[in-house]
Amino acid sequence: MNQTLTLFRLQQTDSRMDAIQSRLEAIRLTLENDRELVRARQQAEATEAGLKSAERGLRAAEAEVESQRIKIEQSENSLYSGKVRNPKELQDLQNEVTSLKRHLATLEDRLLEAMLKHEEAEESHQASLEHLSQVRSQVATQSASLTAENNSLTVENDRLKSERQAIASALDERTLTLYENLRNNHRGRAVAKVSDGACEACGTNLTQAQQQAARSGSQISYCSTCGRILYAS
Ligand SMILES: [Zn+2]
């Protein structure tokens, strides 16, 4: 195998391993921090708080109506007990009952409002719980498929590691160092293929002589523009 073909294979292996690493990292982030799930959970907590406050409002409104009804009952009892005979007192009692009943109507309106609010709060809490459970099952399904992908990528990565070792063993130390330095300085890509007479990495057109040199593979030739090792099949 000539040297540039070996370097090209090494590059292909490294590029695939780089892609696997970045995909594994993306999977890790997705599994650790699912934004939609966090949002759905916060929403369910918020609607639960809203429901609790609506429940408190409803109980308070019910208590007020109840205590007003008791007051009216007591006043009416006095009014109709026959114990009060003084017309002025009777009139006062009658006025009191009328006034208490008027306020009762207001309290009953408030109770109705509180009941409606409570009903709405219950509906929105129920909806948020359903949404949360939907998101949970989506995440579980997604997690299962991401975990499976994670496992198969890890297996592939292990296989590539030993392939890489075998390929690299055919190169001398100096060439390997040269390759690694180029990779560091060229965003992971040290070797570029010659495609349609041009460097595939930077697009520079190559002369016939440059293409021929790349094709022979006996000596390493470089792209004059980006400096990468050229490989031609
Ligand atoms: Zn180039």
Ligand 1 geometric centre to CA of 24 (Å):
29
Minimal CA–CA distance to 30: which of 145, 156, 132, 152?
Answer: 145
Classified as helix, coil or strand, 224 is coil
Sheet holding 229-231, edge to edge: 198-199, 191-195, 229-231
Q: What residues contact 170, with CB distance under 8 A and at least 6 apart?
A: 1, 6
Confidence bin at 42 (pLDDT 50/70/90): very high
Q: Please check the confidence at residue 61 and state whether its pLDDT lies above 90.
A: yes
Ligand 1 geometric centre to CA of 223 (Å):
5
87-105: pLDDT as tens digits? 999 999 999 999 999 999 9
- Beta bridge pairs of residue 192: 230
Phi first, then psi, for residue 169 (nearest 5°) are: -65, -20
Ligand 1 geometric centre to CA of 197 (Å):
11
Ligand 1 geometric centre to CA of 195 (Å):
11
Neighbours of 81 (CB within 10 A): 9
Ligand 1 geometric centre to CA of 17 (Å):
22
Ligand 1 geometric centre to CA of 230 (Å):
8
Confidence bin at 233 (pLDDT 50/70/90): confident
Ligand 1 geometric centre to CA of 190 (Å):
10
Q: What residues contact 179, with CB distance under 8 A and at least 6 apart?
A: 7, 10, 11, 171, 190, 191, 229
Task: Give span(s): CATH 1.10.287.1700, the chain.
Answer: 34-168
Minimal CA–CA distance to 215: which of 59, 48, 45, 3?
Answer: 3
Ligand 1 geometric centre to CA of 188 (Å):
14
173-191: pLDDT as tens digits? 999 999 999 999 999 999 9
Ligand 1 geometric centre to CA of 198 (Å):
8
How far apart, in Å, are the Cα atoms of 99 and each of 88, 91, 93, 105, 106? 16, 12, 10, 10, 11
For the domain spanning 34-168, the CATH number is 1.10.287.1700
